[in-house]
């Protein structure tokens, strides 16, 4: 649901340059910040720490919702700053990088930490990765307005 709602927001407001710049600069990082000390991260930590299923299921569901809410918006950023002939390649490169940096090493890393500490300790690595992602997103967001300015002459709309 998070990915669908993020995609809807991106589609709904993506054609207005002022709105999309504001959304893309604030919402994705704000969503990552929601995973740090506020709602989303608290949900993730509660899900990891709780032995009770009635606590785990809603907390885990809300943490995943907040995590994927920004997917549509971040895909809009990739498409918005890529020249039209390179958009498919840019999205494909993003997917490959996500899998190489996240999906490939995570089972080994989580397993190694779980063996050394506990399963909760291993899963906590995912929360740490969320925080690192938020910091990287904030760091990269400062170049977004300039990148949007560069590409605006090459394409009439920011989002196809």
Q: Per-residue pLDDT averaged across 4-24, rounded?
A: 65
Contact 49, 118 (CB under 8 A): no
Q: 């958009």: which residue's tokens?
A: 87
Closest CA to 155 of 26, 23, 20, 12: 20
The tens digit of pLDDT for each residue in 80-106 reads: 888 889 999 999 999 999 899 888 999
Structure tokens at 116: 């050394």
pTM attached to this predicted model: 0.69
The tens digit of pLDDT for each residue in 127-158 reads: 788 777 777 777 777 787 788 778 776 544 44
- Taking the alpha carbons at both ends of the chain, their separation in whole angstroms is 22
The rounded distance, in Å, linking the Cα atoms of 36 and 51 is: 22
The rounded distance, in Å, linking the Cα atoms of 23 and 20 is: 5
Q: What is residue 22's predicted lDDT score, i.e. its pLDDT?
A: 59
Q: What is residue 24's predicted lDDT score, i.e. its pLDDT?
A: 56
123 — pLDDT class (breaks 50, 70, 90):
confident
Closest CA to 6 of 67, 78, 94, 93: 67
Q: What is residue 43's predicted lDDT score, i.e. its pLDDT?
A: 81
The rounded distance, in Å, linking the Cα atoms of 92 and 102 is: 15
The tens digit of pLDDT for each residue in 31-71 reads: 555 554 444 667 887 888 888 999 989 988 888 887 777 77
- Supply the DSSP symbol for 156: S
Dihedral sign for Cα 113, 114, 115, 117, please.
positive
Q: What is residue 95's predicted lDDT score, i.e. its pLDDT?
A: 92
Q: Is the predicted pLDDT of residue 160 greater than 50, yes or no?
A: no
Q: Per-residue pLDDT averaged across 104-110, rounded?
A: 93
The rounded distance, in Å, linking the Cα atoms of 23 and 65 is: 18
| Domain ranges across the chain | 2-152
């Amino acid at each position: 649901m998070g990915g669908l709602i993020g995609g809807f927001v991106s589609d709904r407001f993506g054609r207005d340059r002022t709105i999309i710049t504001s959304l893309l600069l604030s919402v994705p990082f704000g969503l990552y910040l929601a995973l740090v000390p506020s709602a989303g991260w608290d949900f993730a930590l509660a899900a990891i720490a709780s032995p009770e299923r009635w606590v785990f299921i809603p907390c885990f569901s809300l943490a995943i919702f907040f995590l994927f809410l920004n997917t549509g918006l971040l895909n809009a950023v990739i498409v918005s700053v890529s020249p039209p002939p390179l958009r498919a390649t840019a999205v494909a490169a993003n997917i490959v990088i996500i899998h190489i940096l996240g999906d490939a090493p995570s089972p080994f890393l989580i397993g190694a930490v779980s063996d050394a500490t506990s399963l909760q300790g291993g899963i906590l690595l995912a929360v740490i990765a969320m925080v690192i992602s938020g910091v990287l997103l904030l760091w990269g967001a400062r170049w977004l307005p300039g990148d949007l300015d560069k590409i605006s002459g090459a394409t009439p709309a920011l989002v196809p």
